[in-house]
Amino acid sequence: MEPLTLTDATFEKEVLQSDIPVLVDFWAEWCQPCRMVGPVVAELASEYAGKLKVGKMDVDANGQVPGNYGVMSIPSLILFKGGQPVKTLVGVQPKDVFKKAIDEVIAQ
């Protein structure tokens, strides 16, 4: 299952109004660390299908949402639950770190 492509226009519907937690990967095409995280994010989308929605937002194409959530460096991955940001992970992390954060949020 591929991550959703999120935009400033679709963010509220897909993330803030989601019934299940959402992991948003804030990235950019030119960002090498973002490219390293990309395949892990795609794996997480498949592994957590039905329990977690996974989306990617290009910060160069969408300025409003990253600004609203204080995204200063990329990759930044923010977990949302009930329309609120509950956990932020910045930079390249091992997959286990993402899974632990996701599991904690799902269990809440």
Q: How many domains does the chain have?
A: 1
Q: Say what percent of the chain tops pLDDT 90.
A: 97
Annotated catalytic, 68? Answer: no
Q: What is the mean pLDDT of the chain?
A: 97
Tell me which of 6, 23, 24, 34 is the catalytic residue.
34
- pLDDT tens column, 21-36: 999 999 999 999 999 9
Q: Does residue 1 have a pLDDT over 80? A: no
Q: What is the CATH number of the domain that holds 20?
A: 3.40.30.10
Q: Is the pLDDT of residue 15 over 90?
A: yes
Domain interval for residue 11:
4-107
Q: What is the pLDDT of residues 60-86, one digit of tens each?
A: 999 999 999 999 999 999 999 999 999
Lateral strand order in the sheet of 84-90: 4-6, 53-58, 22-27, 76-81, 84-90
Annotated catalytic, 72? no
Q: What is the separation, in whole angstroms, between the first and last Cα of the chain?
A: 24
